[in-house]
Amino acid sequence: MRKISIFGATGSIGQNTIDLIRRAPGDYNVVALTGGANIAQLAQDARALRADIAVTAYDDKLPELRAALDGSGIVAAAGQAALVEAASRPADWVMSAIVGAAGLAPGLEALKQGATLSLANKELLVCAGALLLETARSHNARLLPVDSEHSAVFQGLVGEDIAAVERVVITASGGAFRDWPLEQLKTATVAQASSHPNWDMGQRITIDSASMFNKALEVIETREFFRVDPDQIEVVVHPESIVHALVGFRDGALMAHLGAPDMRHAIGYALHWPERRELPVERLDLARLAQLTFRAPDPARYPALRLAYDVMARGGLMGAVFNAAKERALDHFIAGRIGFLDMAEVVARVLDQFDSADRGLDEAMTLDTVRRTDHLARMDADNEILKYVR
Ligand code: NDP
Ligand code: MG
């Protein structure tokens, strides 16, 4: 039986992972499940999967979790240290699906144990790519992509020589506002931004899809995962979300990965890798689809995309600045303090401030320097937001 742990088990990716696990209960021995505020879901899944330990990220939720697990024999724990302790428990396969930089310390700890870390949480590669890759290398651990585009690229590279790759094209649905008039974007509400035309995902990534901050993170994720140069990475808007990514080779061939927009494909591929097993996803009927469309992303509509290329050009710890400023801008948008288009403005200003002042961007990348940079960038973003609050 394979030992597995799921970080962010109560979220959208976590629940899709559990759906796959539950179809073959005899194959898995569940070590740790973690969540945040959704204690009922966490306890229910921990009982159903007979996990060894269930952890909530929030200390004040511990009594509720303990009560919900009473009599089950499952250990209940809470807080950041408990998340890292759960990651230190031996597991063969670990799903990293906590949203945001909060997943960094547990992800690094799982790699230190030599686990295969399946990375849904793209923020980790954006804020600490070099550190993650080096930790995986030095502990003989493996990182597998779960983001649909990166899983598609990974599958497109099987048996290929990375040196023969000319370009990588990742697709973007264009998000909730892809067909809105530009001037209307200013007034877009949180509820409007939280509804995705094709994918059913957590609220934060759904809003990031509407602003293309999600694609901006994914461009950086592509660079970190596959070590291609920034000018080899292209984004194309593909409203149907059927083609997830394409890999272009030096002989001109462009290999595409197609599939229904269902994250259980990418999760299942990582779960069973290097095998391919039966997965409960829809089979495409190409004749019924009839057509697939592509268009270039409009830079005026999606300013976040350009920022990703600025971040890659600067290098060092700038990815941590970018991710942290984006997370705070998104918090403030969700709280109603700033408008939809203000998010990219705030992030751009924070990047400028870090670039022009001596903020240690070129220090060695360690958990401490990433955390310090993340903290400073969040403070800068909060200061910027004060200018918008009326
Ligand atoms: P959700 O918001 O649905 O779930 C996030 C999970 O993280 C939940 O279990 C949540 O707990 C937990 N969590 C929230 N805050 C914290 C915290 N501070 N510390 C520890 N745990 C926390 O997100 P998604 O599942 O949509 O996304 C997860 C990751 O996967 C993100 O990085 C996202 O970008 C990426 N991803 C998601 C895709 C999708 O289809 N959803 C597709 C590709 C990538 P609780 O809910 O109990 O509070
Ligand atoms: Mg994606």
pLDDT (0 to 100) of residue 127: 97
The band of 295, judged by pLDDT with boundaries at 50, 70 and 90, is very high
| Distance, C-alpha 243 to centroid of its chain | 19
pLDDT (0 to 100) of residue 27: 97
* 332-362 exposure pattern, b = at least 16 Cβ within 10 A, e = fewer: bbeeeebbbbbbbbbbbbbbebbeeeebebe
Which segments of the chain belong to CATH 3.40.50.720?
2-145
The whole-number average pLDDT for the span 150-177 is: 97
* Ligand 1: lining residues by beta carbon, under 6 Å: 8-14, 35-38, 57, 97-99, 102, 120-123, 147, 199, 201-202, 204-205, 263
The whole-number average pLDDT for the span 159-176 is: 96
Which residue blocks in the chain are alpha helix, DSSP H?
12-22, 39-48, 62-68, 80-88, 104-112, 123-138, 148-156, 190-193, 203-211, 213-226, 264-272, 286-289, 303-314, 318-334, 342-356, 367-386
Mean residue pLDDT of the chain comes to 97
Q: Please list, in sequence order, all residues whose beta carbon lies within 8 angstroms of the beta carbon of residue 158, skipping any fewer than 6 positions away.
A: none
Q: For residue 32, give the DSSP letter.
A: E
> What is the whole-number distance in angstroms between the Cα of residue 244 and the centre of ligand 2?
8
How far is the CA of 320 from the CAs of 56, 124, 155, 357, in angstroms?
25, 9, 28, 16
CATH topology for 315-389? Answer: Rna Polymerase Sigma Factor; Chain: A (1.10.1740)
The whole-number average pLDDT for the span 132-139 is: 98
388 pLDDT above the threshold of 90: no
Q: Please list, in sequence order, all residues whose beta carbon lies within 8 angstroms of the beta carbon of residue 139, skipping any fewer than 6 positions away.
A: 111, 112, 113, 114
Instruction: For residue 300, give the 3-state DSSP assignment.
Output: coil
336 pLDDT above the threshold of 80: yes
Both tokens of 120, joined, read 């849904």
Task: For a ligand 1 pocket test, name from 99, 146, 171 the mutation site with the most ligand atoms within 8 angstroms of its C-beta.
Answer: 99
Distance CA 347, CA 380 (A): 9
182 pLDDT above the threshold of 70: yes
The band of 358, judged by pLDDT with boundaries at 50, 70 and 90, is confident
Distance CA 78, CA 287 (A): 51
Encode pLDDT of 229-264 as tens digits: 999 999 999 999 999 999 999 999 999 999 999 999
Report the nearest atom of ligand 1 relative to the CA of 13. Answer: 25
The band of 390, judged by pLDDT with boundaries at 50, 70 and 90, is low
**Which ligand has the nearest atom to the CA of 208?**
1
Distance CA 171, CA 296 (A): 10
Report the nearest atom of ligand 1 relative to the CA of 12. Answer: 25
Distance CA 325, CA 343 (A): 9
**CATH architecture, range 2-145:** 3-Layer(aba) Sandwich (3.40)
Report the nearest atom of ligand 1 relative to the CA of 200. Answer: 40
| Distance, C-alpha 286 to centroid of its chain | 29
| Distance, C-alpha 259 to centroid of its chain | 19
Encode pLDDT of 85-106 as tens digits: 999 999 999 999 999 999 999 9
Q: For the chain, what percent of residues have pLDDT higher than 90?
A: 97
* 130-162 exposure pattern, b = at least 16 Cβ within 10 A, e = fewer: bbbbebbeeeebebbbbbbbbbbbbbbbeeeee
Distance CA 340, CA 187 (A): 7
Give 37-43's long-range contacts (Cβ < 8 A, gap of 24+): 37/61, 38/10, 39/64, 39/65, 39/68, 40/68, 41/9, 41/10, 41/15, 42/9, 42/10, 42/68, 43/68, 43/69
> What is the whole-number distance in angstroms between the Cα of residue 68 and the centre of ligand 2?
34
Which segments of the chain belong to CATH 1.10.1740.10?
315-389
164 pLDDT above the threshold of 90: yes
> What is the whole-number distance in angstroms between the Cα of residue 172 and the centre of ligand 2?
8
pLDDT (0 to 100) of residue 25: 86
Report the nearest atom of ligand 1 relative to the CA of 217. Answer: 34
Encode pLDDT of 186-224 as tens digits: 999 999 999 998 989 999 999 999 999 999 999 999 999
Encode pLDDT of 18-63 as tens digits: 999 999 989 999 999 999 999 999 999 999 999 999 999 999 999 9
pLDDT (0 to 100) of residue 40: 98
The amino acid at 65: L
Q: For residue 200, give the DSSP letter.
A: -
